[in-house]
Chain A
Amino acid sequence: MNIKNAFITTSLILTLLLVIGTAEISAQRRHRGHHHGGSAQTQSQSQNAFNPMISLIGDLVFEYSDIEDYDIEDGFNLSAIDLNFSSSIDVYARADFFFAIEREEEGTEVEYVFELEEGYITFLTLPLNMQLRLGKMRTRIGKVNTMHSHALHWHEYPLALRRFFSDDGLSGLGGDLSVMLPLPFFAEFSYQLQKDESETFISGVENEWYHNFHLKSFFDVGYDHSLELGASYLFAKSDYLIPESRTEEATEPVDSSVLAFNLKYLWQPADRAMYESLLIWAEMFICDNDSFSDTAMSYFAGVDYKFSRRLSIGLKYDHADEFRSLMPAEDNYTASLTYTQSEYAFFRGGYTYVDKSGETESRIFLQLNFGIGPHRAHKF
């Protein structure tokens, strides 16, 4: 909690400094007619150049379900605003901070909560092709979990992540050490030691540390095809509540683990990349916890086909086994259409058919995502 407060204070100070800096430059511009020297202005502008890269990403989502009092609430939601600060710290490290302003409801009260989504320092000059990240970051379990929500090809995280972790997937405070393996193709191995701040079954109520190993490999197949394959293994000893009662903690720490596999295939003809591409995703999560008897599995597979400069169509299938005796098995079938207005804004609309062990539900969604400022590009 203290850490969260510290981050909020830091961000407020940063914002204040930026406002003061901007106001100072504006004032100097106003005085330009009187003072032709310009040395103070030049100095201020050059200082301004050292400001972090700042961007804001907004996500406006409309959702409707034909069943009342279910998982989603009908109507418009400004589901998230992400505020991103990125900059080199010095020649050895860079800092990336992502703050989220999220809508939260308690009864009839709606409030917007300012919280740190990710915030980490990356040390860039370590030997042996290593890279170290310290701070709060998304866990490299599968591929989609490492992505920010605005970069997803869907309006929400896949069912597997929502069910096993949270609506925002899994992230934690800690460290990430990765190494690029000396192989003829791209292969990266990473180890993360993290503490989840939310009460997932991984970390338990006491927010125990968890360990995550991820192997990522990437292959170019000819000019136009590429394939990413990955495997992750996460484990923790946690004190999670015994599911049958949910009131008493396990007397002994219980072992939790998640094994995940991910695949991403992209076909993008180089000379028509702006107009046509095909993306196939598939991820599988196998979850095991000593406090519930069976291994639970969840997976999704999706296709996204871009058929013009601005339009793409997506299909996705999600499946989740019954989990912790509390959540029934579930299948989701989603179809969506995305209209990309520009690199900085897109609209997405779609339909999801939900089957929860025979109980069915239809959902429609509309999403407007926009960004202002020089947000860093996303990795493959």
Chain B
Amino acid sequence: MKKITYILVLSLLVLSTNILADIDVVATTQNIASITEMIAGDKADVKYVARGFEDPHHIIAKPSFMLMAKRADLWIRNGLELEIGWEGLILEGGRNSDIHLGNPGHLDVSAGVGRLEVPAVLDRSMGDIHPQGNPHYLLDPYNSKAAARNICDRLCELDPDNMDYYLDNLDKFNARLDRKMFGDALVKAAEPQLLWEKMRAGTLEKYLKEKGLSAKAGGWYKKMLPLRGMQYISFHQHWSYFNKSFGLDVPVYIEPKPGIPPTPSHLRRVLGIVKSRKIKLMVQAGWYSMKAANYLKEKTNIKVITLPPGVGASEKIRNYFDLFDVITDKFAKEVS
């Protein structure tokens, strides 16, 4: 009986939180939902479509998502055609024109993000390519700044009464991201924006040495520093932005082309590259089969790790910052 009362009270509390929220938001991925929650705080009820442990390319446009879309004030999408297979159906089925493309209730957070792997030629023989570039840009922490800014701007537009609250949360988000990336001491000693710029230009290490700040470096940057220049194998082109940010390189993918399962001949080619370049690590998202990984493990001494590409992919990853804590921890641990 106590248990039932507890559940009832909890349900009422959850329900009341939703009722009190000013804005109903639906994000297409859990990563975007997490950033939105940090900007919107208790002023929005944030739901999402693709969970962190799901492949966001292959979501089914279920009617329950249409129900979410119907009730939403703001639809936030990743963009770069990540949602092309299902977003249109959900929006049309939701019958909520306020969140259709072109309206204030529809936000694409990819605006202002530096794009990688924009194909020069478009043809299905190239696999599941994205005409506007690789859509996994939120795996570069820097890109979350642009996304957070876009979310904040739109929340301010829709709910100007709480503008100061959103702007304050945006500042907190950026400050926390700076500290997470470079560590508290370095952020206190140097201008964070300059650190980001140097890091993206690949000159941060040199700059810190010149300024005598190397000892102050911390955070994800310091954790990943020993891995700079490392080559590893990945199943899908998930990690391109992460690699650019942290100076890693993937010379070959398990998929011969994006979205295409590996063939024996392609795996032999991968094996050749692993051996010739003495590659020690392979990385893949949890939703892919381990067959190719096991084949490579049998033939070489490569380590295979399952990395979570999204918030919610494991219990430890409750928000966007946890995601990079876990990813960088796993990289650092496996390589050490």
Residues of A within 8 A of B (CB): 91-92, 94, 122, 124-126, 129-131, 180, 185-186, 188, 216, 218-220, 223, 226, 228, 266, 268, 270-275, 309-310, 342-344, 372, 374, 376-380
Contacts and interface: CB of A to CB of B under 8 A. Distances in A.
B213 interface: no
B251 interface: no
B92 A271 contact: no
A274 B55 CA distance: 8
Contacts of B67: 180, 185-186
A270 B260 CA distance: 19
Given A131-B95, A310-B261, A273 B287 contact: yes
B89 A274 contact: no
Would you call the interface of chain B mostly helix, strand, loop, or mixed?
loop
A131 B97 CA distance: 11
A274 B85 CA distance: 15
B66 A272 contact: no
B254 to A, nearest CB: 13
B95 A377 contact: no
B289 A124 contact: no
Nearest to A183: B67
Nearest to A53: B88
B53 A271 contact: yes
In this complex, which of A309, A344, A376, A379 has the most chain B Cβ atoms within 10 angstroms of its Cβ?
A379
B260 A218 contact: no
Given A122-B92, A343-B259, A377-B85, A220 B62 contact: yes
A370 to B, nearest CB: 10
Interface string B97-132: 100101000000000000000000000100010000
A129 B287 contact: no
Interface string B47-72: 00001011100101111101100100
Interface residues of B, number: 33
B89 A379 contact: yes
B288 interface: yes
B186 to A, nearest CB: 37
B247 interface: no
Contacts of B89: 376-379
Interface string B22-56: 00000000000000000000000000000101110
B102 A220 contact: no
20 contacts: A92-B97, A124-B95, A129-B70, A180-B66, A180-B67, A185-B64, A186-B67, A223-B51, A226-B62, A226-B64, A274-B58, A274-B289, A275-B289, A343-B128, A376-B88, A379-B63, A379-B89, A379-B93, A380-B60, A380-B61
A124 B92 contact: yes
Interface of B: 51, 53-55, 58, 60-64, 66-67, 70, 84-86, 88-89, 92-93, 95, 97, 100, 102, 124, 128, 259-261, 286-289
Nearest to B92: A124
A125 B97 contact: yes
Contacts of B261: 309-310
Given A129-B95, A186-B67, A343-B259, A377 B58 contact: no
Given A309-B261, A342-B259, 11 more contacts: A91-B97, A129-B70, A130-B95, A186-B63, A226-B62, A268-B60, A270-B54, A271-B287, A273-B287, A310-B261, A377-B89
List the 4 closest pairs (A to B, CB-CB), nearest first. Answer: A218-B63, A186-B63, A125-B97, A270-B54
Contact of A228 (B58, B63, B289): B63
A269 to B, nearest CB: 9
Given A268-B60, A377-B88, A379-B93, A180 B259 contact: no
Given A129-B70, A270-B53, A218 B62 contact: yes
Nearest to A277: B60
A254 to B, nearest CB: 36
